[in-house]
Structure formats: structure tokens, C-alpha cells
């Protein structure tokens, strides 16, 4: 069991992905502070926002796999496909869900003003704008190249 943990924490692909996620989430806290003049530590684990940490993580892992295993390896091809799926989901499906949550929250607010209605607000910051996904991808590529 000790060998597993020792090998796992020294896995360069995992480390590149973990650092990319950490950097992306930290950037979200910093940007929130700059824009909103407020420290919001929940941005360390929240989804949505600039940059996409999901994208940074999977692209860092994919890039590291390409560097370590070779760009023509089957595992790199699979990781690249997974990267595209994550990026599509982040900018497409999850972004649409966030827009729907905002609309429902606006309806709930309107109903609450006119009638007594108790409803928990839905999380609106779920998906990403395409630029947030692109920046996440660039961040992932940079971090993997710096670490591997």
C-alpha cells in the first residue's frame, strides 16, 4: 500500500492536473477580489467563472500524458477526447443550466414580491463562457509544459 501512495503522489500527470486545478481555482478567488472587492473563499471549490478549472485540469492531464506517453499513444488520444467532452460540457450544457437557474431565480423573486413564497435560490454560476474554457485550456497546457 505504501508503494501505491508513493508512486501516486509522484505521478507527473496527476501532479500537473492537480496544480492546474489549484492555480485555476486560486485565480478565481483573486479575480473575484479584484472585481467585487471581496474575498470569497468558496470560489476555491465552486464551479463556473474565469478560468475553467475543469478545463485546466483535464487539458493539463492530457498535455502531460502526451509529453510522457507520446502524442501518438492511445492513452493520449483518449485523454484528448475526454478534454473535448469536458470543454463542450463546460461551455454548452452547464452554461445552459446556469442560464435556466437565473431565469427560475428571477421568476421566484418576482413571485416572492407579489406573494409569500419560500424557495431556495438555484446556483446560477455553473457553466462557462467560451473564453473561460479557452483560458482554462491555455492554463492547463502551460502548467503541464512547465511541470513535465
Q: How confident is the model at residue 25 (pLDDT cuts 50, 70, 90)?
A: very high
Q: What is the average pLDDT across 55-77?
A: 97
d(CA 91, CA 103): 18
Count CB neighbours of 77 within 10 A. Answer: 14
59: containing domain = 2-87+129-147
Q: Is residue 72 a part of any domain in this protein?
A: yes
Q: Is residue 39 a part of any domain in this protein?
A: yes
The 3 state secondary structure assigned to 16-42 is: HHHHHHHHHHHHHHHHHHHHHCCCCHH
Q: Is residue 123 a part of any domain in this protein?
A: no
Q: Tell me how many helices (H) and strands (E) the chain has.
A: 6, 0
Give the model confidence (pLDDT) of 28-38 as tens digits.
Answer: 889 888 888 88
* 45-49, 59-63, 114-118, 139-143: least confident range: 114-118
Domains contained in the chain, number: 1
Q: Is residue 96 a part of any domain in this protein?
A: no
Q: Is residue 113 a part of any domain in this protein?
A: no
Does residue 44 contact residue 24 with C-beta atoms inside 8 Å?
A: no
Give the model confidence (pLDDT) of 98-141 as tens digits.
Answer: 777 777 777 777 777 776 655 566 565 566 778 888 899 999 99
Does residue 40 contact residue 47 with C-beta atoms inside 8 Å?
A: no
pLDDT at 46 over 80: no
Q: Is the pTM of this model over 0.75?
A: no
Q: Is residue 76 a part of any domain in this protein?
A: yes
Q: Is residue 38 a part of any domain in this protein?
A: yes
Q: Is residue 133 a part of any domain in this protein?
A: yes
Amino acid at each position: 500500500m505504501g508503494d501505491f501512495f508513493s508512486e501516486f503522489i509522484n505521478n507527473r500527470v496527476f501532479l500537473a492536473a492537480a496544480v492546474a486545478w489549484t492555480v485555476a481555482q486560486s485565480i478565481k478567488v483573486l479575480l473575484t477580489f479584484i472585481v467585487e472587492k471581496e474575498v470569497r473563499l468558496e470560489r476555491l471549490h465552486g464551479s463556473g467563472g474565469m478560468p475553467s478549472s475543469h478545463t485546466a485540469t483535464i487539458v493539463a492531464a492530457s498535455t502531460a500524458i502526451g509529453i510522457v506517453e507520446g502524442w501518438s499513444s492511445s492513452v493520449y488520444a483518449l485523454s484528448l477526447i475526454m478534454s473535448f467532452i469536458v470543454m463542450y460540457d463546460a461551455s454548452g450544457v452547464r452554461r445552459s443550466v446556469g442560464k435556466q437557474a437565473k431565469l427560475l431565480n428571477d421568476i421566484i423573486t418576482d413571485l416572492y414580491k407579489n406573494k409569500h413564497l419560500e424557495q431556495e435560490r438555484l446556483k446560477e454560476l455553473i457553466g462557462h463562457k467560451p473564453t473561460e474554457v479557452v483560458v482554462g485550456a491555455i492554463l492547463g497546457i502551460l502548467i503541464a509544459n512547465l511541470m513535465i
